[in-house]
Amino acid sequence: MDTIKNNTRKMLFELKQKRDEIKVQVHLAKLEAGDEWQGIEEKLHRLDLKMKELGHATAESSKDIGSAAKQLGKEIRDGFKNIAKHF
């Protein structure tokens, strides 16, 4: 009986310890994902502005704006992938 009780107590202790470790990891992941999300929001705003510029741009300057917009789009896509890793 004591062996069962001790084994169960040990298992409960280990499970609670693991729970606490995961709880900390989840909290840190939330913080990290939140920071990443904020950066993505700012990049989306900049991309929106680039698209408005593109509407008023000449053919020559539209290439530069288009390249910048493409780069922002790639950074946003990569940011979404980084956030998705947390789930």
Residue 20: Cβ within 10 Å count: 10
**Tens place of pLDDT for every residue, the chain, 87 residues?**
689 889 899 999 999 999 999 999 889 888 888 888 999 999 999 899 888 887 777 767 777 888 888 888 999 999 998 888 877
> How many structural domains is the chain composed of?
1
- 26-to-11, 12, 42, 50 alpha-carbon distances in Å: 22, 21, 24, 35
Cβ atoms < 10 Å from Cβ of 57: 15
Chain position carrying tokens 């929001």: 41
Domain that holds residue 76: 2-84
Using left for φ > 0, alpha for ψ between -120 and 50, and beta otherwise, residue 57 falls in beta
